[in-house]
Every structure is written in C-alpha cells, then in structure tokens.
A = this chain, B = another copy of it.
Amino acid sequence: MSAVRIGIVGGTGYTGVELLRLLLRHPQAELLAITSRKEAGQPVADMFPSLRGHTDLRFSTPDEAPLAQCDLVFFATPHGVAMNQAHSLLAAGVRIIDLAADFRLRDTAAFEHWYGMPHACPDLLAEAAYGLPELNREAIRKARIVANPGCYPTTVQIGFAPLLRTAGLVDGAHLIANCASGVSGAGRKAELGNLFAEAADNFRAYGVKGHRHGPEINQELRRIAGLADADASLNCLFVPHLAPMIRGMHSTLYARLTPEGQKLDLQDLYTRFYANEPFVDVLPAGSAPDTRSVRGANVLRLAVHKPTPDTAMLLVTQDNLTKGASGQAVQNMNLMFGLAETTGLDGLALLP
C-alpha cells in the first residue's frame, strides 16, 4: 500500500509537535508539508530540537505548501482556521482532520456562542464525523472531515458511555465530571497564567463560568444516550482544574445509579464494553490509574468504582496530547485510510 501523503496546517504548538513525533515514526505516513506563516522557511527541527536528525522539513507558507496534493491535511491550528480552508481542500479531494473545534459542535449557534466567531461553513457541520473511534468508528472510516474531539470530552465520553448506552441506569440529569489537566492543555501560548512561576506548586479550578468543552460533552453524551441534542434530561456538570504537570489528564466522574443501575456489576459492564478496544484499558477492580502510566501513549486507562450503593465513580486517565489530541488524530487517520487502527501508535508510556 502506498503511503498517505500528509500536510499539517499550523504545527508550531504542542499538538503539532506531538503529531510530528508520531507521524515521523508512522510507517505509512509521508509528510509533504507543514505550514506556518510566521515561521516560514525555518526548519521544523530548529523550533523543536527533539526532532533534530529526524526530519529536514521546513515550515512553509500556506500558499506555497502543496496541500492540494495531499491525501490528508491535519489542522493543528487555533479554532477558526480549518473551517476557512475546508471547502477548497475537499474540492481538491483532500480529507481533513481538524484538531481544533471548528467541526465539533453540530449546532452553529452554539459554536458561535462559545467560540465568538461566525461559522464559515455551516453546511459542512452535518457532514463532519466526530472523531472518537471507540464510539463512532464507522462514521470516521468514511468521513471526509473528522472533528478530533477535545481532550476532556474524550475522557468523559469513554468514561460514561457504558452507563448511558442503556437507558435508565443513572440519573442522567446530574452527572458530574471533576477533571484535572496538565498545563500543556493550555497550548503553547505566552500567557501569564501558564508561566512556570504561576502554575507550578499550585492547583486551582478554572473556567468556572463555563468552559468550551461543556457543550461538546453534553452534545456527545446525549448522542451516546440516543437523546436529542438539547434534551436536558441528560446533563453533565463539567469542572476542569489545572494541575502542575506538563502532560496528563485525570477525570473523576460521578453518576447516581437508579435502582436498576444498582443491580449492575459495573466492573463487568465496563470490561465487556471495551473488551476489543486496543486503546482503552479497564483496570482491575479497586485500582486507581496514574496519569504517568499513559504519558506519551495513545491509551486511556480507567477504573470503575461503586463507593456507595447508589454511586458509580469512574477514574479516567489519558495523556491530553496523545489520546487526548494528536494520537487520537492518528488513530482517526488510520481508520480513514484503511490502515490497522494501531499503526504507528504502539509506543509505550514513558515512566518514570
């Protein structure tokens, strides 16, 4: 099989360098171009010395880059870039994976509310596949556009899905997702709050007035439950926190079990639900996953608990940049191009 010809738009941020780390070792990926208007001409390995010796690629301007000759273009850009280039790329027969949020929310008004910009191609929203392979694999295979999920939403959906796929097991209107993320989740942007001297040896909640991943979580949890987009009978309270670590995400999820749900063997439910998933690891009963056990690996580890008779508690970990972003994007690429889903994604976590 011939290699997938790939372009990356953006790529000077953390999801960009993570994508490069993975694609440069992917046996079926041929990297044709990476664009950055600001860094055009600079070797990628000058910006990211970790790549020295492994690529001669230079950043190019979007105009120069042979994106139309690619089979696939990843957008590792700020929100709002992919939607402006989607039509012309699709017209050239190029498929798209957007690591930003342009195609995550199906409701144009919601997108415009949460991201503060008009949507450039609402017509494509319905077409885009939501890129969470474990829950939407078939749609991804065929999609021209894949909306790579947000990092938090990945953990919350994988965590709650087994409880929501069957109606009536939990009080869906009062789900809680108490999450903590490493600082790389904020991106490679020079902002005061993300300075080492501000974020180290510190812990705090943020986004307490509402976080963009909230509507994405509820949209998708409702879909998982087979409910309409705006059906308030399912609602998850999402509370993100910032932890002083580089990578890593930990979500502690709470659901109130109905009398029906209380009869379930939760450990068994989850083990069976994810039995064939190469990237979801349901831990033995009584466990608590470390974020470091998935550092740099495209895997999500979770533990299932029933701390009171009517409470289900899930402990879910992933690397926010790998399974939470770029690793998942490569997983989507593998599906889109008929490759084995695990191709290029078998690296083991770096521990310690």
Question: A residues near B, CB below 8 A?
Answer: 14, 17, 21, 24-25, 48-54, 174, 176, 178, 180, 182-184, 186, 188, 190-192, 194-206, 208-209, 235, 237, 239, 241, 243-248, 250, 252, 254, 256, 278, 281, 283, 286-297, 299, 301, 303, 305, 307-308, 310-311, 313, 315, 317, 321, 346-352
CA A203 to CA B183, docked complex, whole Å: 12
Cα separation A296 to B246 with both chains bound (whole Å):
15
CA distance A188 to B351 in the complex (A): 12
B180 in contact with A243 (CB, 8 Å): yes
What's the Cα separation between A76 and B198 when bound, in Å?
A: 19
Whether the Cβ atoms of A239 and B350 lie closer than 8 Å is: no
* Other A-B pairs beyond A205-B288, A241-B252, 7, CB < 8 Å: A48-B351, A50-B295, A176-B254, A182-B203, A201-B295, A204-B250, A243-B243
Within the assembled complex, what's the spacing in Å between the Cα atoms of A297 and B183? 23
Q: Is the CB of B297 within 8 A of A50?
A: yes
In the A-B complex, the 6 residue pairs with the closest CB atoms: A50-B349, A50-B351, A183-B196, A49-B293, A196-B199, A202-B292
Is A183 a contact of B204 with CB atoms below 8 Å? no
Question: Could you tell me the distance in whole angstroms from the C-beta of A99 to the nearest C-beta in chain B?
Answer: 16
Inter-chain contact B178/A197, CB cutoff 8 Å: no
Contact B50–A248 (Cβ < 8 Å)? no
Measured CB to CB, the closest approach of chain B to A207, in angstroms, equals: 9
Task: Out of B182, B243, B252, name the residue touching A205 (CB < 8 Å).
Answer: B252
A237 to B311, CA, bound (A): 9
Contact of A203 among B245, B254, B303 (CB under 8 A): B245
Q: Which of B49, B198, B201, B289 contacts A201 (CB 8 A)?
A: B201
> Using Cβ atoms and an 8 Å threshold, which residues of chain B touch A307?
208, 237, 239
Which residue of A190, A256, A286 has the most chain B CB atoms within 10 A of its CB atom? A190
Taking a contact as CB atoms under 8 Å apart, the answer to whether A194 and B196 are in contact is: yes
Tell me the smallest distance from the CB of A283 to a CB of chain B, in Å: 8
In the complex, what distance in Å separates the CA atom of A245 from the CA atom of B196? 8
Q: Which residue of B lies closest to A292 (CB)?
A: B202
What CA separation (Å) do A352 and B305 show in the bound complex?
32
Which residues on B sit within 8 Å (CB–CB) of A237?
Answer: 254, 307-308, 311, 313
Report yes or no: A208 in contact with B244, Cβ–Cβ below 8 A: no
Q: Is the Cβ of A183 less than 8 Å from the Cβ of B202?
A: no
Across the interface, A50 reaches (CB within 8 A) one of B48, B196, B348, namely B348
Of A199, A287, A351, which is in contact with the most chain B CB atoms at under 10 Å from its CB?
A: A351
Complex: how many Å from CA A49 to CA B244? 19
A290 vs B281: C-alpha distance when bound (angstroms): 33
